């Protein structure tokens, strides 16, 4: 919640109801000034009217002498203060790099490399690495998917959750025992998603699915660490 901005008007958050000072929608020759009701129409003296400017999730009741330019500036500031949601877009999968990385082509024929969020699949040269890549291809290659992008990594890849026909592909790879829950970044997941991913790995381990059928599978982050010079 933002603090009061003017003695006779407030900027409030979603769902708030506040009193508004009388004002008129009619403007004089100088449109940067809102004419008080008693100037626009003498019969409105002492009468309260409610006029506000609305943006998605923001209501800005205006005080009688508040300028339009200032109001627009406040609206812009308020919108920037609202929490940003993850970007979501669709694309056709045109390449599979490994068990947790793919490339999509969007409607504008632009390519985007996507790293599946919340999981870490075996590297291609690891046991089960090629099987993880094949499984991801079976799920999404050539199909239109929806990607919920949360951020970009240092390589410029979009990190996101991939869905096809409503199915969470990241979660499905965990269920098949073809990826680890990437606990290093688990704190970045919503609580419900984090628990679902953790449970999927536990069940795959218990059922000895995929890589969990090996006696001592090596986590991909340990494998990468071993291969560093």
**Could you tell me where the beta strands, DSSP code E, fall in the chain?**
52-55, 58-61, 87-98, 101-105, 111-116, 119-120, 144-152, 158-164, 167-168, 180-181
Q: Say which of 123, 148, 172, 201 is annotated catalytic.
A: 123
Q: Say which of 12, 133, 157, 175 is annotated catalytic.
A: 157
Bridge partners, 27 (sequence order): 34
Asked if 138 is an active-site residue, the reply is no
Q: Is 31 left (phi over 0), alpha (psi -120 to 50) or beta?
A: alpha
Q: Say which of 115, 133, 161, 175 is annotated catalytic.
A: 115
Asked if 39 is an active-site residue, the reply is no
Asked if 50 is an active-site residue, the reply is no
Which residues are tagged catalytic?
Answer: 115, 123, 157
């Amino acid at each position: 919640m933002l603090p009061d901005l003017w003695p006779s008007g407030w900027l409030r958050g979603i769902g708030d109801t506040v009193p508004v000072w009388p004002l008129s929608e009619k403007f004089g020759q100088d449109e940067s000034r809102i004419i008080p009701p008693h100037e626009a129409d003498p019969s409105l003296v002492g009468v309260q009217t409610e006029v506000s400017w609305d943006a998605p999730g923001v209501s800005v009741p205006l005080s009688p002498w508040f300028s339009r330019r200032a109001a627009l500036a406040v609206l812009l500031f308020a919108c920037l203060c609202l929490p940003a949601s993850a970007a979501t877009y669709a694309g056709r999968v045109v390449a599979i790099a490994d068990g947790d990385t793919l490339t999509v082509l969007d409607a504008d024929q632009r390519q985007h490399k996507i790293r599946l969020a919340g999981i870490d699949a075996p590297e291609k040269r690891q046991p089960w690495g090629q099987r993880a890549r094949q499984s991801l291809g079976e799920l999404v290659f050539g199909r239109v998917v929806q990607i919920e992008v949360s951020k970009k990594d240092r390589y410029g890849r979009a990190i996101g959750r991939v869905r096809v026909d409503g199915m969470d592909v990241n979660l499905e790879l965990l269920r098949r025992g073809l990826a680890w829950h990437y606990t290093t970044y688990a704190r970045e997941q919503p609580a419900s998603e984090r628990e679902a991913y953790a449970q999927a790995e536990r069940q795959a381990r218990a059922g000895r699915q995929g890589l969990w059928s090996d006696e001592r599978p090596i986590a991909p982050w340990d494998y990468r660490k071993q291969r560093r010079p």
